[in-house]
Homo-oligomer: A and B are copies of this chain.
């Protein structure tokens, strides 16, 4: 699938028959901003970048590429953390950034119809005047776009209560690899036919190009309270998470930070966290005033029974925002403490939290690499940050090995190798651990059903069986249902 310079010139001039000059980039200096997404360890220049401004242009681009058998890599805001939008030199990078209009916002149906390049936070900003907001809130929400959110099935702090992107999207328009336009989903709760709507979520640009999204909006809660709960033991904090959820209360956010993360965040933005504790939980409760009051009291009581050192309710809106600011800046804050860090993303069944946190601490000591933990505790989505120095010979390799062990641990616990960052190029090898060949084969059959020539984002997300065999990973722990024969802690 390698192309000659001549092919490239021809492709360029064909694009220019229907795209304005500034919508086609091919000079190296113009291509550099597109050489990586948020996974900056992987970089490559694309052959060319196209920036369509309409659905019709996207369709024309796809038709041209399909006829010429040129691979296409879709790119949203480029904030992805697993390299799903990593270009290569024989592919066209299709940026959806200029498709950035909110087409319709209907406060009565509580929906917004938007183009894929609209930023996640811009939806909430536009809906705010009606007392509505868009629930999924990945940390990158200022920058990331809804098209990318669909491609990665993004989550965020609120997904514990309000679900992932797939739970908040009602319908899609998708341009197929052939250029044909597909209408998927409807305004109704369910649609006849196979569930193509969910299938597009998390498909990382490998099945089609999302060009329009109908999202659900939800009413802003009357009341929100945040509790800061402190512990002198990490495993105890993990058990407290389960106690809250098992009580029947569903917090709108339930986040955990360990001492390294707390100190980094506090030092960075003075959120008012105590720095002498082993772990904190941030528990956000939303709903009607009466409901929130009742739940705050119940959580306070539960946490005292769980051995919490202290429970502090944010007294003012300013304090509540400050509590969250510390959490949200934890990644860059840890970045200040260490020349480099590697942000992991995996999930485990929530009931194993205490055991896994203990094991992470052991692994950290074994590898002599500090791990800061700051994560979505309520849904068991871990984000261990391995701190290392790439300038120390061998430290990067040791970090990657440790990272691999952490993901294997997640799979062994009945969890997954990615919670919300996707597979991309970063975790393609771990897919061989996560799945048996039957599941991988079925993924390839699905791909074939949408893109038999494999022109859409080739080489990402789903490894070939050959690759898994070469990795020697075909003795897989396959993706078993929990509770069957998993180790118990």
Contacts and interface: CB of A to CB of B under 8 A. Distances in A.
A167 B167 contact: yes
A214 to B, nearest CB: 5
A212 interface: yes
A202 B212 contact: no
Contacts of A434: 192-193
Nearest to A413: B187
Contacts of A479: 183-184, 186, 191
Interface in A390-442: 414-420, 422-423, 427, 431, 434-436, 438-440, 442
A294 B198 CA distance: 35
A6 interface: no
Contacts of A106: 483
A39 B63 CA distance: 44
A383 interface: no
Interface in A151-182: 153, 155, 159, 163-164, 166-167, 170-171, 173, 176, 180-182
A367 interface: no
Interface stretch (A17-25, A138-146, A306-314, A446-454): A446-454
This chain: copies in complex: 2
Interface in A319-368: 347-351
Interface residues on A, range: 35 or more
A198 B176 CA distance: 20
Interface in A276-321: 287-288, 290-291, 293-295
Contacts of A195: 153, 166, 195, 198-199, 201-203
A189 B381 contact: yes
A109 interface: yes
Contact of A194 (B176, B202, B483): B202
A1 interface: no
Contacts of A186: 347, 414-416, 479, 481-482
A483 B176 contact: no
B439 A214 contact: no
A438 B192 CA distance: 15
Centre residue among A189, A246, A434 by max chain B CB count within 10 A: A189
Contact of A436 (B183, B287, B438, B439): B183
B483 A104 contact: yes
A443 interface: yes
A487 interface: no
Contacts of A347: 186, 188-190
Nearest to A187: B482
Contact of A242 (B108, B164, B245, B435): B108
A483 B431 contact: no
A379 B188 contact: yes
A487 to B, nearest CB: 14
B419 A190 contact: yes
Given A176-B438, A294-B290, A192 B349 contact: no
Given A111-B483, A173-B481, A192-B418, 20 more contacts: A166-B195, A180-B438, A183-B480, A186-B482, A187-B481, A190-B420, A192-B416, A192-B422, A192-B431, A193-B202, A193-B431, A195-B195, A195-B201, A196-B443, A219-B248, A288-B290, A288-B294, A445-B449, A446-B446, A449-B449
25 contacts: A109-B349, A109-B351, A111-B482, A111-B483, A131-B248, A153-B195, A167-B167, A184-B439, A186-B416, A186-B479, A188-B379, A189-B379, A190-B347, A190-B416, A190-B418, A190-B419, A193-B440, A193-B443, A196-B442, A198-B199, A214-B482, A287-B291, A288-B291, A288-B295, A442-B449
Q: What 10 A-B pairs have minimum CB-CB distances, sorted nearest first?
A: A198-B198, A290-B290, A187-B482, A445-B449, A219-B248, A188-B347, A449-B449, A291-B291, A195-B198, A187-B349
